[in-house]
Amino acid sequence: MRILSGLQPSGRLHLGNYFGMMQPALQLQHQGDAFYFIADYHSLTSLHDPAMLRQHSWDLALDFLACGLDPAKATFFRQSDVPEVCELAWLLSTVTPMGLLERCHSYKDKVARGVDASHGLFAYPVLMAADILIYDSDVVPVGKDQKQHVEVTRDIAKTVNHLYGEVLKIPEPRIQEATAVVPGVDGQKMSKSYGNILAIFEEEKALKKKVMAIQTDSTAIELPKDPDTSLIMTLYKLVADPAAVAAMEAAFRAGGTGYGDFKKRLFEAIWTQFEEPRRRRAALADDPAYVRQVLQDGAERARGVAQLTLDRVRRAMGLGPL
């Protein structure tokens, strides 16, 4: 089973990135042949600072490895180190209906939030399709908001196969329903563009300040509170063990405890959950040669697979040797 997933280097890794995409991907690396990439081509639709892009890409490499990616089990690389994906994206675009892309909600959402309506932003799903199809992927673990793009990939691949024969494998999305959408401190989906994130590798004081700023209602300390509607409780369930979750839910319903105390418990749980990854990340930052070698080795293997797929598609579409 070939598993494919990627994450944009757009800033600090946060709980939404980790539980929505990274954790499911890291679990899957033990179940098949995993290909995980840093999606730097994709980030160019909104990030136009070269130095920042390079820094974010480096930080994401450290984050992935610190959180448990095993280079012996997963092929890990930068998207841009496999340029074949861009040629495949063009080939796929020649059979992709405009209407299919016009229905993609991600483009509409980003434009509504003020992102420039570039061709790259509009054609984002085609490049994502190329990412998936070029590695003959079987399974694509994605957040719930990205499921539509995997469906678009399937539609494009079926069109290619209908026109040119069975040259592309049809992938399947795998959604983590329980943690697909992680709320931010304001209750919206946790996102860097909303400025509501809780960064995993944030400095201690800064992280605690953000946790303490989580929005709550005005229920008095002595009154019972509903754990089922609390942002604090939703986030706590991600980072605490079942016994601690049950204890906090009981404390919510009993009354006598303020939201400030619950926020402190949440902060401690987040800080403890990522204690070991913080230690590993610091060690990796002190060994840049190792990190670069991991990415180089991953890119070489990924290109080997990508070149075979691209050659197969080129020949099928009439671009092979005359």
Looking at the annotation, which residues are catalytic? 110, 189, 192
- Residue 195 burial (10 A CB sphere; 0-12, 13-18, 19+): exposed
- The separation between CA 13 and the C-alpha centre of its own chain, rounded to angstroms, equals 9
Q: Where are the beta strands (DSSP E) in 131-176?
A: 139-142, 172-175
Q: What region, left, alpha or beta, does residue 114 occupy, with left being phi > 0 and alpha being psi -120 to 50 degrees?
A: left
Spatial distance between the Cα atoms of 61 and 292, rounded to a whole number of angstroms: 9
Task: Give the CA diameter of the chain.
Answer: 81
| Half-sphere CA count of 240, side-chain side, radius 13 A | 22
> In the numeric block, which tokens belong to residue 156?
């494009």
